Amino acid sequence: MTAKLTDERRARLAEFIEPFRVTPGRRVNLAEDFDPAFRGGIETKKKGRALLTEGVQLLAEYQARLAAQGTAGVLFVLQAPDSAGKDGTIRHVMSGVNAQGVTVNSFKVPSSEERHHDFLWRYEQRLPGRGAIGIFNRSHYEEVLVVRVHRETLDRELLPRSAKKKGIWKRRYREINDWERYLTDNGVAVVKVLLNLSKEEQRARLLRRIDLPDHNWKFSEADLTERARWDDYQRAYSEMLSHTSTDWAPWHVIPADRKWFGRTAAAAVLVDAMMQIDPRYPRLDKSGREALEHARASLQAEASEGATGAPEDGETSVRGVRAFNGSR
């Protein structure tokens, strides 16, 4: 990939994802400001799938560089209401990457051990290492979403009375922002996506889970319990977006009424973040190059007449060295 082509792709990606980005400091009303059915100028599923394929290929390339460089990490935060397609998004967007370089963590009800620590503790334990991508399928933002909508869960967090007084949500927003700033300052890019689903589309998807036998296992009566609090969640999402979209970790609100578009857009946001990191293959110093040349000569000397796998003119090996050195 040439530098010029990279710049062109970055420009196209930036233009495509800009409508999804929550400007830091902006007061958000999710229902009014973001359309779950928006398609960003992509009129057909076929075109969307083609763009997703391109995004997956780019992501695989950048993941390889990220792992080779070994200095930066990526935390991909994925939030969404029930049936918005989190699992499918992860499956499709990450379909082309090396599984060794990706971890996926889903956070359920806190365990007894987790409740005996601060609310960010369990998320800290699952952060990606340098050179890796970590995915939070639901995340630390549950602490200002589910916990806010179901206030009774706050009592199970074993907080002192003083910590539950008025202002707790603004304090948690600040603490989350500070934590994410700490992560980015230490080389972990925080990429945040909210899959925005309409209430009507959620109704259709829940009915599908009931009507199709092979989808029955996905349905839970808890889905209806949470759906009954739809307006409360919309307000909680709006407050979350308003207070925690920052310059160092902005939110992107992805239209999710069409699964194919949501996956394409989520991939674009993640690829754009990887391009901003711009990881490179390590460059070998003189002694490293000499060591490779010595190894190549030694391996070629071992080849018997007619042996396969040994380049005849050395071009394959030289090209490999160039690639490892980060040549373009």
Judged against a pLDDT cut of 50, whether residue 313 lies above it is answered with no
CA 103, distance to chain mean position in Å, is: 11
Tell the burial category of 114 from Cβ atoms under 10 Å away from its Cβ (0-12, 13-18, 19+).
middle
Residue showing tokens 């960010």 = 120
- Residue 270 DSSP SS3: helix
pLDDT digits (tens, 9 = 90+) for 39-64: 988 989 999 999 999 999 999 999 99
Q: pTM of the full predicted structure?
A: 0.88
Q: What is the CA radius of gyration of the chain?
A: 23
Whole-Å CA distances, 27 to 23, 32, 171, 178: 9, 11, 17, 20
Question: What is the C-alpha separation between 94 and 152, in angstroms, rounded?
Answer: 36
Distance, CA of 283 to chain centre? 28
Q: Is the pLDDT of residue 206 over 70?
A: yes
Four-residue CA torsion sign, 23, 143, 188, 192? negative
Running DSSP on this structure, what letter comes out for residue 110? P
DSSP state of 304: P
**Is the per-residue pLDDT at 1 higher than 90?**
no
Q: Where are the alpha helices (DSSP H) in the chain?
A: 3-17, 30-33, 45-69, 86-93, 112-115, 121-124, 146-149, 168-185, 199-211, 221-227, 230-244, 259-277, 286-302, 315-324
The token pair that represents 157 in the structure block: 């967090």
Query: If DSSP codes are grouped into helix, strand and coil, which group holds residue 158?
Result: coil
Q: How far is CA 184 from CA 27, 39, 107, 135, 170, in A?
A: 24, 31, 22, 16, 21
Calculate what percentage of the chain has a pLDDT beyond 70. 91
pLDDT, position 13 = 82
What's the mean pLDDT in 292-308? 85
Q: Kindly indicate the confidence band of residue 309, based on its pLDDT and cuts at 50, 70 and 90.
A: low
Spatial distance between the Cα atoms of 12 and 286, rounded to a whole number of angstroms: 38
- State residue 303's pLDDT score: 85
Check residue 221 and report its DSSP letter. H
Of 208, 197, 223, the closest CA to residue 89 belongs to: 197
Contact yes or no for 256/80 (Cβ under 8 A): yes
Token code pair at residue 99? 């599984």
How does pLDDT run across 215-245, given as a tens digit for each residue?
Answer: 999 999 999 999 999 999 999 999 999 999 9
Give the mean pLDDT of the chain: 90
Map residue 223 onto helix, strand or coil: helix
Sequence-ordered list of residues with C-beta below 8 angstroms from that of 158, at least 6 positions apart, any chain: 115, 116
Can you give the pLDDT at residue 4?
46
Task: State pLDDT tens for residues 91-122.
Answer: 999 999 999 999 999 999 999 999 999 999 99
